[in-house]
Amino acid sequence: MVQGKWFAPGQPLGEVLPVREAVFGAAGPESDPLSWNCLVFWDGVPAAAGRIWWQDGAFRIGDIGVLPDYRGRGLGDLALRLLLFKAQSHAAREVRLKTPPELAGFFARLGFRAGAPEEGGAETLEMMIPGDAIDLDTCRNCPRQDCPSRK
């Protein structure tokens, strides 16, 4: 079973940090105490995490990571959708993130568009989605009409 859990800004992140450390090798950025963190469990195992915070006039998403053994099961997609839902529920005007360029396609699936490459190198790409372009309706472009999710 897949479950999601939210951690409000300032809540202890003891369940989240091991996932982040396993994926990124680092735990706590400065903006963590200001962030909403989400954690996704696969059969009770904390397997995916991500966070969203407000900074310099925009919501920022970061540290989306899935444990290597749990990739390819839709958990990264779910974590990103949870974070975008949080942005929507805060009436976000725009949401920004920085990503390695090779992951741009993962974020583009949900409408993020690439900005200019970061100064000083092409290691990081900044991507953005306007708040009113966030579309979390997975059925809209799906041709399958008899799917139980539509009922």
- Shortest distance in whole angstroms from residue 76 CB to ligand COA: 2
Nearer to ligand COA, 75 or 84 (CB): 75
- Shortest distance in whole angstroms from residue 67 CB to ligand COA: 8
**Chain centroid, CA 29 distance in Å:** 16
Nearer to ligand COA, 75 or 129 (CB): 75
Under the criterion CB under 6 A, does residue 129 sit at the interface with ligand COA?
no
Number of residues forming the site for ligand COA (CB under 6 A): 20
Query: Looking only at residues 34 through 73 of this chain, which bind ligand COA when binding is defined by CB under 6 A?
Result: 62, 64-66, 71-73
36/118 Cα distance (integer angstroms): 25
- Tokens representing 62? 């970061």
126/97 Cα distance (integer angstroms): 6
Given a contact cutoff of 8 angstroms between Cβ atoms, the answer to whether 51 and 83 are in contact is yes
Nearer to ligand COA, 73 or 90 (CB): 73
Query: Looking only at residues 68 through 97 of this chain, which bind ligand COA when binding is defined by CB under 6 A?
Result: 71-77, 97
Which residue lies nearest ligand COA, judged by its C-beta?
76
Which residues, in sequence order, are bridge partners of residue 114?
127
φ, ψ of residue 150 in degrees (nearest 5): -80, -15
- Tokens representing 110? 């949900």
Other Cβ atoms less than 10 A from the Cβ of 106: the count is 14
Instruction: Please report, as ranges, the residues that interact with ligand COA according to CB under 6 A.
Output: 23, 62, 64-66, 71-77, 97, 99-100, 102-103, 105-106, 109
